[in-house]
């Protein structure tokens, strides 16, 4: 019997100097590192809620490769943690999809880990788009994307080649490749990555009265602000 759906979570080891470098310039490497860890835990909580509702696997693809054991230990070995393999982000994403499909999964969504408040609905809508038209992408407000997905039959590896990763036109160039290839796809609503202090301020403002106000991320930010004022 073929396997169903799989969520591929791309994450980094929460080490000083390796994560959230722009945030670190305003809040320090240690705080940025702890905050990123909370981003990951909050996202995984949402992922777990979704995965528990149906036939959905969850895999964490970790960068750098030599930190897989540390991340697995940090998460109490609750997840299938694997190395991101490839010379750049595009090749690493392509390889994750290829590995997933080669093992029998029919649908896969890849998520980044910079949006701790990603709504569960975006995951559900992403998989719904894989029914028709068969491919999906979710843009982030900084010009990149936070989600991309395919079925085993609609996988288009070309979207991961020749992209200037980290630039503000990653989404635009990826969409251009879809269009050049006449490949049908759906676009989800844009979401905001947490890259700088203004993003954090926006996050706190948006969730002042939402259920996310009780999240690890929000609790950490409130504690950090109180400490800064004292």
Q: Would you write out the chain's pLDDT as a tens digit for each of its 230 residues?
A: 457 999 999 999 988 888 998 898 888 899 999 999 999 999 999 999 999 886 799 999 999 999 999 999 999 999 999 999 999 999 999 999 999 999 999 999 999 999 999 999 999 999 999 999 999 999 999 999 999 999 999 999 999 999 999 999 999 999 999 999 999 999 999 999 999 999 999 999 999 999 999 999 999 998 887 665 54
Q: Order of strands, edge to edge, in the sheet holding 186-187?
A: 80-83, 56-63, 3-12, 105-111, 145-151, 135-139, 186-187
Q: Which two tokens stand for residue 7?
A: 């969520």
Query: What is the third-level CATH fold of 3-229?
Result: Spore Coat Polysaccharide Biosynthesis Protein SpsA; Chain A (3.90.550)
Q: What is the pLDDT of residue 16?
A: 84
Q: What is the pLDDT of residue 76?
A: 97
Q: Which two tokens stand for residue 202?
A: 């926006």
Q: What is the pLDDT of residue 115?
A: 98
Q: What is the pLDDT of residue 1?
A: 40
Q: Where are the domains of the chain?
A: 3-229
User: Residue 11 and residue 27: Cα distance in Å, rounded?
Assistant: 21
Which among 145, 129, 144 has a CA at the least distance from the CA of 184? 129
The CA angle 119-122-123, to the nearest 5 degrees, is 100
Q: What is the pLDDT of residue 26?
A: 83
Which among 103, 104, 57, 62 has a CA at the least distance from the CA of 85? 62
């Amino acid at each position: 019997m073929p396997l169903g759906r799989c969520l591929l979570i791309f994450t980094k080891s929460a080490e000083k100097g390796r994560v959230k470098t722009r945030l670190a310039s305003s809040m320090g490497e240690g705080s940025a590192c702890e905050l990123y860890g909370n981003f990951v835990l909050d996202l995984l909580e949402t992922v777990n809620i979704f995965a528990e509702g149906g036939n959905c696997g969850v895999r964490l693809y970790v960068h750098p490769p030599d930190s897989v054991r540390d991340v697995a230990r940090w998460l109490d070995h609750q997840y299938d943690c694997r190395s991101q393999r490839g010379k750049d982000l595009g090749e690493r994403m392509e390889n994750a999809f290829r590995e997933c499909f080669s093992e029998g999964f029919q649908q896969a969504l890849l998520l980044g880990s910079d949006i701790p408040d990603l709504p569960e609905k975006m995951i559900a809508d992403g998989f719904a788009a894989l029914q028709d038209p068969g491919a999906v992408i979710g843009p982030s407000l900084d010009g990149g994307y936070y989600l991309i997905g395919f079925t085993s039959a609609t996988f288009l590896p070309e979207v991961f080649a020749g992209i200037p990763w980290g630039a503000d036109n990653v989404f635009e160039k990826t969409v251009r490749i879809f269009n050049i290839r006449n490949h049908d796809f759906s676009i989800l609503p844009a979401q905001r990555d947490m890259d700088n202090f203004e993003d954090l301020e926006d996050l706190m403002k948006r969730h002042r009265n939402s259920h996310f106000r009780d999240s690890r991320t929000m609790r950490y930010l409130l504690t950090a602000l109180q400490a800064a004022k004292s």
